[in-house]
Amino acid sequence: MQIGYELGADQRTCLDVDECLENNGGCDQICLNDVGSHSCNCHSGFRLLSDEMTCLDVDECSEIENICGHGDCVNFPGTYNCECHEGFTKEAGICTDINECDSKIQICGENGLCENLEG
């Protein structure tokens, strides 16, 4: 008898033990049952540590340079958020410059020429 197997009802067959049924196989998040063993996995935004059981949040703010563009990155478990500086708007999660000239409000008046600046 090997670890990871249990004896079947006929006392001759080795059956896989589903370790995930008990205590989630010791896994932090996702337990994957394999024949004769099992493994752990993590939800997206988390990383499996070297103990192969524990999931740790990925700090996108420090790991991915300039992830927010013109904004402040705030790390959350499993995700992150970009808080844009004034004059910038979030597009596809990244803070990009608002082109005030394109907005419906005619900020420069009828005859004024509008020049878009960063921020």
Phi-psi region of 4 (alpha: psi -120 to 50; beta: other; left: phi over 0): left
Select from 26-34, 48-56, 84-92, 99-107 the region that touches Ca ion (CB under 5 A): 26-34
97 binds Ca ion (CB under 5 A): no
In angstroms, how far is CA 70 from the centroid of its own chain?
21
Q: What end-to-end distance do the CA atoms of the chain give, in Å?
A: 68
Residue 60: CB minimum distance to Ca ion, A: 5
In angstroms, how far is CA 29 from the centroid of its own chain?
13
Find the binder of Ca ion among 57, 90, 97, 100 (CB under 5 A).
57
Q: Which is nearer to Ca ion, 29 or 33 (CB)?
A: 33
Question: Could you tell me whether strands 71-76 and 55-57 are parallel, antiparallel, or unpaired per DSSP bridges?
Answer: unpaired
Distance (Å, rounded) from C-alpha 103 to C-alpha 86? 15
Residue 45: CB minimum distance to Ca ion, A: 5
Q: Which is nearer to Ca ion, 75 or 96 (CB)?
A: 75
Find the binder of Ca ion among 24, 54, 75, 81 (CB under 5 A).
75
Tokens 């999660």 correspond to 93
Name the residues that contact Ca ion, by CB under 5 A.
16, 33, 38, 57, 75, 80
